[in-house]
A and B are shown apart, each in its own frame.
Chain A
Amino acid sequence: MSDNNLNQEQIAAAAAHLEQAELEAYEVTKLTDDYPEMTYKDAFDIQWEIRRRKEARGNKIVGLKMGLTSWAKMAQMGVEHPCYGFLADYFAVSDGGEIKTDELIHPKIEAEIAFVTKKALKGPGVTIADALAATDFVLPAVEVIDSRYKDFKFDLKSVIADNSSSTRFITGGQMQRVENVDLKNFGVVMEINGEVIATGAGAAVLGHPAASVAMLANMFGERGEEIPAGTFIMTGGITAAVQCQKGDNFSVRYQGLGTVTGRFV
């Protein structure tokens, strides 16, 4: 991983700036406009500083997520790697629950599959097989993403610093052991206000969602961090991200894994 070009004060200031935008739901210009010299290491340091700020305030970190996990999206952005983010306790919304639209800027939803680990994973060198062996169970999830950047436009460094656009998530449906689900081929159907808006299958996530867990472990390994046993991990969008407005309701059906629903109020 690259070195830092920003100093500690700059990293702390950038983290405060982005977290403020998240907490008060307003847009900012992308961070690389303010700090053109920032490196990937700087970007991750800013994200980890936002995480530290939340924990210092008493929030609990309840999981991790991967973003930009489709080959198409990566090619479009000219990057070779997806990105990751963390999930704070107040991001969780219950199945069938309400998402308060006014707390967000321009939310979009994605259908995902989430893994819960039973063993620690530490990169480098974590494979799909290691990820599957370390998985306790999988369950369906809907992620609400909300870039703090104007018009959802950003580059990879800016989005990493912005906690990979994380904001809310809903889990539900049915948990399953990995051996009982065909994770490459299981299908997903997203309906918004009763209309089928998007469909996809597990392979949309890096060819296999467990590859996303392995890649997360390897990216954590680059910072010397491990993913502890019991971690909830959302592996990335199976469908395209779909913009939602106040008043929209959604229902996502997962082959063999039930449904997840919610409403934007």
Chain B
Amino acid sequence: MNEADIKQAGDELYNALVNRTTLRPLTERYPDITIKDAYHVSLRMNERRIEAGERIIGKKIGVTSKAVQNMLNVHQPDFGFLTDKMAYSQGQEMPISELMIQPKAEGEIAFVLKNDLLGPGITNADVLAATDFVIPCFEIVDSRIENWQIKIEDTVADNASCGLFVLGDTAVSPLDVDLTSCGMVVEKNGAIISTGAGAAALGSPVNCVTWLANTLGEFGIPLKAGEVILSGSLVPLEPVKAGDFMSVSIGGIGSASVRFV
């Protein structure tokens, strides 16, 4: 893709986000698109968000679990940026009918950092040392691509299908929880719909943050102290609509819940 294509695609994705419309997959229009191109498209899309007054507060890694990889037929992780406008608090209503197109909920563990991490060469020990605390999280992903027909380049371009997220209200030091074996229980409208454990995301949520630090390091981008890092879903994606209520609880960490309107 040339610079004009990248700008064009980034603008179209931004407009789709704002107007709640969808595009045909970029991989269809630009069959030779690379992940690097896609990343530059996402930068353009995020530039538009920042111009509109949003602020980057963290990063996310997605497509980390086998369940999600199989569902999307995308077999490597993706990454995106979180802005202040995406963040909701525990118990707050989330207006998905106003803001989202084809939302799906994921239960995750969020990391909040106390030190910067700049790859390459970041190890799990570096990530644990740089982690202030972990916190339960619901990420509501959304795709600006028609019917979620995404390949890896489509989702990277579309800011890793990022939508909105809710953080729970209990924070735990990584010293106090086994992040690989901690269990996750997701309930929708009072029924348990899925369970999983930390290892569902690339073997451990810590592996995910390490992968993200090293991958973004290739673009010279650090994970920064104070940022929220969403480490990827531990359960299958669940489509949601206005009126649904969901909660997630994580063994040894706590819970988060969200009401969709």
Interface residues of A (CB under 8 A from B): 71, 182, 184-189, 196, 199-204, 207, 238, 253-256
Tell me whether B203 and A187 are in contact (CB under 8 A): no
Q: For A71, list chain B residues within 8 Å (CB).
A: 191-192
Interface-central residue, A184, A188, A196, A207, by most chain B CB under 10 Å: A196
Tell me whether B192 and A207 are in contact (CB under 8 A): yes
A258 to chain B, nearest CB (A): 10
Q: For A203, list chain B residues within 8 Å (CB).
A: 183, 185, 192, 195
Bound-state CA distance A248–B192 (Å) is 32
Bound-state CA distance A257–B180 (Å) is 13
Partner of B198, one of A182, A189, A204: A189
A200 to chain B, nearest CB (A): 5
- Return the chain B residue nearest A257 by Cβ: B181
Given the known A-B contacts A184-B249, A196-B203, A255-B251, are A189 and B192 also in contact in the complex, defined by CB atoms under 8 Å? no
Tell me whether A199 and B197 are in contact (CB under 8 A): yes
A98 to chain B, nearest CB (A): 25
Interface-central residue, A185, A188, A256, by most chain B CB under 10 Å: A185
Tell me whether B192 and A200 are in contact (CB under 8 A): no
B239 on the A face (CB < 8 A): no
Tell me whether A182 and B197 are in contact (CB under 8 A): no
28 A-B pairs, CB-CB below 8 angstroms? A71-B192, A182-B252, A185-B182, A185-B184, A185-B185, A185-B252, A186-B183, A186-B251, A187-B182, A187-B184, A187-B196, A187-B197, A196-B199, A196-B200, A196-B203, A199-B196, A199-B200, A199-B234, A200-B183, A201-B197, A202-B183, A202-B185, A202-B195, A202-B251, A203-B185, A253-B181, A255-B183, A255-B197
B150 on the A face (CB < 8 A): no
- Which residues of B in the span 184-220 have a Cβ within 8 Å of any Cβ on A? 184-185, 191-192, 195-200, 203
Tell me whether A201 and B198 are in contact (CB under 8 A): no
Tell me whether A189 and B185 are in contact (CB under 8 A): no
Interface residues on B, range: 20 to 34
Tell me whether B196 and A201 are in contact (CB under 8 A): yes
B223 on the A face (CB < 8 A): no
Q: For A253, list chain B residues within 8 Å (CB).
A: 180-181, 199
Bound-state CA distance A253–B170 (Å) is 25
B133 to chain A, nearest CB (A): 18
Q: For B195, list chain A residues within 8 Å (CB).
A: 199-204, 238
Q: For A204, list chain B residues within 8 Å (CB).
A: 192, 195
B63 on the A face (CB < 8 A): no
Q: For A188, list chain B residues within 8 Å (CB).
A: 181, 183, 197
B89 to chain A, nearest CB (A): 22
B41 on the A face (CB < 8 A): no
- Return the chain A residue nearest B184 by Cβ: A201
Bound-state CA distance A203–B195 (Å) is 7
Bound-state CA distance A40–B100 (Å) is 50
B26 on the A face (CB < 8 A): no
Tell me whether A199 and B199 are in contact (CB under 8 A): yes
Tell me whether A254 and B192 are in contact (CB under 8 A): no
B109 to chain A, nearest CB (A): 11
Q: A185-B183, A203-B185, A255-B178 are in contact. List 5 more A-B contacts (CB 8 A).
A: A186-B181, A189-B198, A196-B199, A199-B195, A201-B196
- Which residues of B in the span 37-51 have a Cβ within 8 Å of any Cβ on A? none
Q: For B192, list chain A residues within 8 Å (CB).
A: 71, 203-204, 207
Q: For B110, list chain A residues within 8 Å (CB).
A: none
B97 to chain A, nearest CB (A): 29
Q: For B251, list chain A residues within 8 Å (CB).
A: 182, 185-187, 201-202, 255-256
Tell me whether A189 and B184 are in contact (CB under 8 A): no
B254 to chain A, nearest CB (A): 9
Tell me whether B200 and A255 are in contact (CB under 8 A): no
Tell me whether B252 and A189 are in contact (CB under 8 A): no
A28 to chain B, nearest CB (A): 34
Tell me whether A255 and B249 are in contact (CB under 8 A): no
Bound-state CA distance A15–B184 (Å) is 41
Q: For A207, list chain B residues within 8 Å (CB).
A: 192
B182 to chain A, nearest CB (A): 5
Bound-state CA distance A61–B239 (Å) is 46
Tell me whether A256 and B185 are in contact (CB under 8 A): no
A224 to chain B, nearest CB (A): 32
B250 on the A face (CB < 8 A): yes
Interface-central residue, A184, A200, A207, A254, by most chain B CB under 10 Å: A200
Q: For A255, list chain B residues within 8 Å (CB).
A: 178, 181-183, 197, 251-252
- Return the chain B residue nearest A202 by Cβ: B183
Bound-state CA distance A71–B195 (Å) is 12
B193 to chain A, nearest CB (A): 9
Q: For A186, list chain B residues within 8 Å (CB).
A: 181, 183, 251
Q: For B198, list chain A residues within 8 Å (CB).
A: 187, 189, 199
Q: For A202, list chain B residues within 8 Å (CB).
A: 183, 185, 195, 251
A183 to chain B, nearest CB (A): 9
